[in-house]
Chains A and B, each alone.
Chain A
Amino acid sequence: MSATQIQSPRSGQNSSGQDRSGKGSGGKIAPQYRRSGSSRGNFEMLAWLFMRLSGVVLVVLIFGHLTVNLLVGEGIHAIDFGFVAGKWADPFWQVWDLAMLWLAMLHGTNGVRTIINDYAERDATRLWLKIVLYAAAAAIVILGTLVIFTFNPCPVVDGVQLPGGFCPAP
């Protein structure tokens, strides 16, 4: 086996084609410094700030949600289709649930985005994971928003009332 040519450590020519990958170095990766310029904009700062602020708001929203749904009145036994229909007839709960949906989805999506950035090692993997993540998040946010605003507990199909004991007779 021919001896590998080793570049002088301090020659400062990292890009001369010499692979100093340090395989089996204990650490998996031997990073080459390749930070490209500086990234303008404050996206990472705003994302960081959003995580903290949305987290605080979500604590209030989620515990309010759990209290009203599970503890107040008959508590968990009152939950059925009619209970949800009743809540969404009230604009207050529409706004509450909408805020909860959007904040939780953006908070969670940003968290997973961070995890992908931290753990995905190849750029292609990173890209695909993020595409899947953003597609899933967008689908859930759009569908959820649609349901909150267009929810009709007593739909009439072809002039026939669908089952639901609480619906007024047509």
Chain B
Amino acid sequence: MTAELAEPASKIELPAGVGGGGEIPSFDVTLRVRRYNPEVSDESTWDDFHVTMYGTDRVLDALHKVKWEQDGSVSFRRSCAHGVCGSDAMRINGRNRLACKTLLKDLDTTKPITVEPIKGLPVEKDLIVDMEPFFQSFREVMPFLINKGHEPTKERLQSAEDRERFDDTTKCILCAACTSSCPVFWTDGQYFGPAAIVNAHRFIFDSRDDAGDMRLEILNDKEGVWRCRTTFNCTEACPRGIQVTQAIAEVKQAILARKI
């Protein structure tokens, strides 16, 4: 009788599994990281790290744990850690993804999880690559509004339909996951790459922009859109779900429509 009275009167019946702090399943994972340090060796090696992680953790959390608790020399880029800044694109289990958007529980944790730098760009150290070739192509398509008319005193208005036309390609965060997943870019790195074309698309199809023809001319280059082989690697790699290959196809059609 007394035991029953000891129960708090305000107890709310919760279904099992809700509100149970510390009940998140934990598991051991092996992180196999591609290490490269030019100050030590010109060769890169694989390093294995064993960490205990939780079901809510992402690959980035595992990398943090390794860096903070096991080996402080592991180098990688990250900034916001929430899939917005586009700093931590890397090759996880052979696929380009953002480390901060890839949950460990979605990967096969029975095998080591491989983490490599994105391909096709010069590696600086470990998972850090030199993004300069990528940004050079990006700058070349003039990714900014060019308007020949007088500068309005108010904002430049645009209909909802006109805005919708290029909505998909506004989502790009310049993480380079698409460009560094493109086999044509891997060959010699001279192809403009999906990301540059996506950002050109964003302005080519913007009704407020007047330099679409210039951008189409730039992408008519022999290293431009015609090198795209529609392998869809870019569409698959994009962490923002941009239909990259479709955007490239639309630019191809715009060039054709202008020339013929």
Q: Do A and B bind each other?
A: yes
Q: Which residues of A contact B (CB under 8 A)?
A: 3-4, 6, 9-10, 12, 14, 20-35, 38-39, 42-45, 47-49, 114, 117-119, 121
User: Which residues from B are CB-within-8-Å of A24?
Assistant: 36, 42-44
Q: Using A31-B190, A33-B132 as known contacts, say yes or no to A118 and B122 having CB atoms under 8 A apart.
A: no
Tally the A-B contacts, defined by beta carbons under 8 Å: 116
Q: Are A6 and B39 in contact (CB under 8 A)?
A: yes
Q: Using A6-B38, A31-B190, A35-B190 as known contacts, say yes or no to A45 and B133 having CB atoms under 8 A apart.
A: no
Q: Are B117 and A26 in contact (CB under 8 A)?
A: yes
Q: Using A22-B36, A26-B34, A45-B259 as known contacts, say yes or no to A121 and B188 having CB atoms under 8 A apart.
A: yes
5 contacts between A and B (CB under 8 A): A14-B132, A27-B121, A29-B187, A29-B188, A44-B224
In the docked arrangement, what's the CA distance between A86 and B247, Å?
51
Minimum C-beta distance from B44 to chain A (A) = 4
Q: Are B218 and A23 in contact (CB under 8 A)?
A: no
Minimum C-beta distance from A5 to chain B (A) = 9
Residue of A nearest to B229 (CB): A118
In the docked arrangement, what's the CA distance between A106 and B189, Å?
27
Q: Which residues of B contact A (CB under 8 A)?
A: 34, 36, 38-39, 42-44, 91, 116-117, 119-124, 129-130, 132-133, 136-137, 183-184, 186-190, 217-218, 220-224, 226-227, 229, 252, 255-256, 259
Q: Are A26 and B133 in contact (CB under 8 A)?
A: no
User: Which residues from B are CB-within-8-Å of A6?
Assistant: 38-39, 124
Q: Are A43 and B252 in contact (CB under 8 A)?
A: no
User: Which residues from B are CB-within-8-Å of A28?
Assistant: 186
In the docked arrangement, what's the CA distance between A24 and B91, Å?
15
Q: Using A23-B43, A24-B43, A47-B226 as known contacts, say yes or no to A30 and B221 having CB atoms under 8 A apart.
A: no
